[in-house]
Amino acid sequence: MPDRIILEGMRFFAFHGNDVEEQTLGQPFVVDIELEADLSIAGASDDLGDTINYAEVYRTVRRMMERHPRNLLETVAQDIADAVLSVFPVDAVTVRVRKTQPPIRDARLESAGVEIQRRRG
């Protein structure tokens, strides 16, 4: 199994969705991200410069969540994956984006979302 850096439960209020109300009123989202990278050098050195800075990853995800509204969660997840792969030295990224209040009439569910995985090259 490859080494992973995991950020779970990042919470954002954003304006993504296909309904007009979603893009004007906004709603809460939860994002999880897993980064695959070789962490052995950082494990040996104990030096932040040898790994991926969690705070920078969070800021990248936040920037993608707060930019212009997207109709689909698939597009939001792809935007995040593309940004992470372009900025950080990772082999792969898994992105989960969930709406915690999906606009489904009479639905009783905790969330609705997507998960994508993208690899470098």
Asked if residues 61 and 6 have their Cβ atoms less than 8 Å apart, the reply is no
Q: At what angle do helices 73-87 and 54-66 cross, to 10 degrees?
A: 140
Longest dimension (CA), the chain: 53
Q: Helices marked H in the chain — which ranges?
A: 20-25, 40-45, 54-66, 73-87
Asked if residues 78 and 67 have their Cβ atoms less than 8 Å apart, the reply is no
Catalytic annotation, pick one of 27, 99, 111, 115: 99
Active site residue 53: no
Enumerate the active-site residues: 99
